[in-house]
Chains A and B, each alone.
Chain A
Amino acid sequence: MSKKKEITKAKLDFKTDWAYAPAPEDSGHISLKKQYDLFINGEFVKPNSKKYFATYNPATEQKIAEIAEADEKDVDKAVKAARKAFEKWSKLSGKERGKYIFRIARLMQERAREFAVIETMDGGKSIRESRDIDVPLAANHFFYNAGWADKLEYAFPNRNPKPLGVVGQIIPWNFPLLMAAWKIAPALAAGNTVVLKPAETTSLTALKLAELIRDSGLPNGVVNIVTGAGKTGAAIVNHPDINKIAFTGSTDVGKLIQRSISGTNKKLTLELGGKAANIIFADAAIDQAVEGIVNGIFFNQGHVCCAGSRLFVQESVADIVIRKLKDRMETLIVGDPMDKNTDIGAINSKEQLLKINEYIKIGKNEGAEIYQSSCAIPSKGNFCRPTLFLDASQSHRIVQEEIFGPVLTVQTFRTIEEVIEKANNIPYGLSAGVWTDKGSKIFNLTNKLRAGVVWANTYNKFDPASPFGGYKESGFGREGGLHGLMPYLNL
């Protein structure tokens, strides 16, 4: 009896038998300055306030560089530069505009490894992800959109698309370079000029992008990059000479922005929070589904607006799925983001780690059963073990609210009607995942799930040709693909 029991529980013990030797990525080849200024009108200029703030490596808590803090005057300067540049840029032929954007894509590909290393140092994501996903995708977004610049009239039948003018773009810290590319590339292809603000904890790759843009010969003022925190963002949102705001970030800030510009004619796109359902049916390929669950919630430390943070497992397979999931979680390596073996890097900031830990406390108090992998985590830096909450219920705050960390809630279901109801019963609607072997079930689900992106038998895939964006309180407007051009054009 006891022997049989042991066999069903048998699994590989990675900690004893499969010790990985450290495989650190080299950071000797990157070039970083001690201090970064604002990129306005094609050159780096000192901030009006003369104030700088430090940016830290969240894995080591070491200071990397100082970043200029832009105030209203700096933002005004950037908007004026963008407005002046708009006259010529919007009149440049699409063919020539496209060539500049192609150039940026190529330069980024050439310097990809440097960008990946800096992205990981500044943001805490594993080098494998920044090297294989963030940076190549960022370059691809420029390459993809470059080709649209001289073909816009084919994209929207019976319309004569025209650029909007100066666009203000505010991006988050979870995919710093990739978000900058998502924002800048379609804006430029459509003939707009840009004032972009990266998140204050992850300014470096945007500033490296500024250097690259300067090297590309893009006309001065077409792209301006101003750094700072919420106040700088507010200065962009409230600037009277901006024609459009594009924001990616939290739903709370998104709502604030929507309200702030209510008295104006500014156009708006919002890419906000999410709380995606990842649904596993009994007929799914279980091992692949488990990989999908792991990729859905632990990719990028769970700092993903479209993370599959609510797992729904059909009751008949719940036991086996959860057992396999726990086993798989045991194999995840949490630690030095610069190590090529690392699966889960550092939480982006102290603040965010506090927020995640607060939610873990809330989850325990709400009565859900917690499970965390037993992996070691570094004593220094911001780290969080991959975490499950079993037996979570629909009314729990950990089920309703976005945690933005490696924390997954698990609910079970019996019928398809039940899971659709539960999946949709939330203010968010950014993404969803479905795992089943049955095509007709996939199409039923993809029709009924109120979410902008549905991954069927896969999860967390992104591509410049693929539109991304939410339903309901996850925002409006799309980024990527043909549909991603629309918010940057007057049709």
Chain B
Amino acid sequence: MSRIEIQKTYKIFIGGQFPRTESGRYYPLKNKKNEVIANMCLSSRKDFRNAVVAARSAFGGWSEKSAFNRSQILYRIAEMLEGRKEQFVSELLLQGVSAANAKEEVTMSIDRLVYYAGWCDKYQALFSSVNPVASSHFNFSVPEPTGVVAIVSSEESSLLGLVTSIAPVIAGGNTCVVLASESKPLCAITFSEVLNTSDLSAGVVNILTGNSAELHSHFSSHMDVNSLLYYRKNKNEIKTIKENAALNVKRVHIYDKIILNSDKSQSPYFIFDNQEIKTTWHPVENIGSSKGGY
């Protein structure tokens, strides 16, 4: 007698847990033969709001972790992904990606995580400055994470798009809520399992599945989101997002022209996009007759 396979229930990822959408809604994901592969959560506005709460409460702890520690955790994510390569490849195949492309997508995702793991404790040196002000003050500027970042990730890619959008955001000490590809959502949830076993604190990354047409206006109008990244090409959604962003002066970055499988889509400047520059001044005591020199 052949064994009956255990099928996976795909849920969403909020605050380090895997709940179903609070709305109870779903959408069927079909393969090329029009067979249902999975019932995905059709996330709601309320799911998004819950995820923002989780991301906000995770922000303090994550942003204050040492950069070196963040670096190790990102590397750990890569390790976990490496160990589960086959699972991701087979999920990509299931979603209609060719065998060669699936393998490339997974290895590239792992390498991209390692790339950003290395940046965690280096971009600060690149984007900081000591500013030689004319008065008797010591003055320096450093980057700090912007806060909670909402991400509408690429529709075309199941895994690489997700990694490309998340890695620079969390490498920079931000927390995020990500909308996965609607038509290729499987890897997003499996990737959540990877994140959940990589010492990444709960709530640093939250992943929803669902529909951008429904959710993009909520992503952009939420008053506790500091920054919004959009990786799709829908002009109307871009306009609405930019319009809503004005409600609380969100930073908006539209990456509609990004080519995921190119090295140009990874750089410390993607980290910088979600950084604020903070400048600190302090007086330098300048009394008495002591002079420098020998």
Give the B-binding residues of A (Cβ under 8 A). 140, 157-159, 251, 254-256, 258-259, 261-263, 270, 272, 427, 442, 446-447, 451-458, 461, 463, 465-469, 471-476, 478, 481-483, 491
B129 A453 Cβ-Cβ under 8 A: no
Given contacts A454-B281, A482-B129, A491-B269, whether A262 and B242 have CB atoms under 8 Å apart is yes
B246 proximity list for chain A (CB < 8 A): 255-256, 258-259, 262
Q: A454-B280, A463-B131, A473-B248 are in contact. List 4 more A-B contacts (CB 8 A).
A: A251-B249, A452-B279, A468-B279, A482-B129
Chain B min CB distance to A466 (Å): 5
A471 B276 Cβ-Cβ under 8 A: yes
B281 A472 Cβ-Cβ under 8 A: no
B251 A453 Cβ-Cβ under 8 A: no
B278 — nearest CB in chain A belongs to which residue?
Answer: A452
Chain B min CB distance to A453 (Å): 5
B226 proximity list for chain A (CB < 8 A): 472
B277 A452 Cβ-Cβ under 8 A: yes
Most A CB within 10 A of own CB, among B240, B243, B249, B276: B249
A427 proximity list for chain B (CB < 8 A): 248
- B134 interfacial contact with A, CB 8 Å: yes
Q: Which B residues between 131 and 145 are near A, CB-CB below 8 angstroms?
A: 131-135, 137, 139, 141
B280 A456 Cβ-Cβ under 8 A: yes
Q: How distant is the Cα of A117 from the Cα of B235 in the complex, in angstroms?
A: 50
- B32 interfacial contact with A, CB 8 Å: no
- B291 interfacial contact with A, CB 8 Å: no
B245 proximity list for chain A (CB < 8 A): 258, 262
- B259 interfacial contact with A, CB 8 Å: no
Give the A-binding residues of B (Cβ under 8 A). 64, 126-127, 129, 131-135, 137, 139, 141, 146, 226, 239-243, 245-249, 251, 267, 269, 276-283
Interface pairs A-B: 3 shortest CB-CB = A262-B242, A258-B246, A463-B133
Chain A min CB distance to B172 (Å): 14
Q: How distant is the Cα of A472 from the Cα of B243 in the complex, in angstroms?
A: 16
Most A CB within 10 A of own CB, among B245, B247, B276, B280: B280
A476 proximity list for chain B (CB < 8 A): 249, 251, 276
B249 A478 Cβ-Cβ under 8 A: no
B267 A457 Cβ-Cβ under 8 A: no
B64 — nearest CB in chain A belongs to which residue?
Answer: A447
A481 B134 Cβ-Cβ under 8 A: no
Question: Contacting A466 at CB < 8 Å: which of B241, B269, B279?
Answer: B279
Q: How distant is the Cα of A471 from the Cα of B280 in the complex, in angstroms?
A: 14
Q: How distant is the Cα of A453 from the Cα of B140 in the complex, in angstroms?
A: 10
B279 proximity list for chain A (CB < 8 A): 452-454, 466-468, 481
- A and B contact pairs by CB, cutoff 8 A, 5 listed: A158-B267, A465-B131, A467-B129, A467-B277, A483-B141
A466 B251 Cβ-Cβ under 8 A: no
Question: Contacting A461 at CB < 8 Å: which of B64, B141, B146, B281?
Answer: B281
B281 A455 Cβ-Cβ under 8 A: yes
Most B CB within 10 A of own CB, among A254, A442, A466, A476: A466
B132 A453 Cβ-Cβ under 8 A: no
B247 proximity list for chain A (CB < 8 A): 255
Chain A min CB distance to B184 (Å): 28
A258 proximity list for chain B (CB < 8 A): 242, 245-246, 249
A446 B280 Cβ-Cβ under 8 A: yes
Given contacts A158-B267, A451-B278, whether A272 and B249 have CB atoms under 8 Å apart is yes
A255 — nearest CB in chain B belongs to which residue?
Answer: B246
Q: How distant is the Cα of A457 from the Cα of B282 in the complex, in angstroms?
A: 6
Chain B min CB distance to A162 (Å): 14
B141 A481 Cβ-Cβ under 8 A: yes
A458 B277 Cβ-Cβ under 8 A: no
Q: How distant is the Cα of A444 from the Cα of B243 in the complex, in angstroms?
A: 36
Q: How distant is the Cα of A256 from the Cα of B245 in the complex, in angstroms?
A: 11
Q: How distant is the Cα of A104 from the Cα of B34 in the complex, in angstroms?
A: 70
B135 proximity list for chain A (CB < 8 A): 461, 463
B131 A466 Cβ-Cβ under 8 A: yes
A255 B133 Cβ-Cβ under 8 A: no
Given contacts A158-B267, A467-B131, whether A255 and B281 have CB atoms under 8 Å apart is no
Given contacts A158-B267, A259-B243, A262-B242, whether A454 and B278 have CB atoms under 8 Å apart is yes
A442 proximity list for chain B (CB < 8 A): 282
A461 — nearest CB in chain B belongs to which residue?
Answer: B281
Q: How distant is the Cα of A471 from the Cα of B283 in the complex, in angstroms?
A: 24
B276 proximity list for chain A (CB < 8 A): 452, 471, 476
Chain B min CB distance to A107 (Å): 20
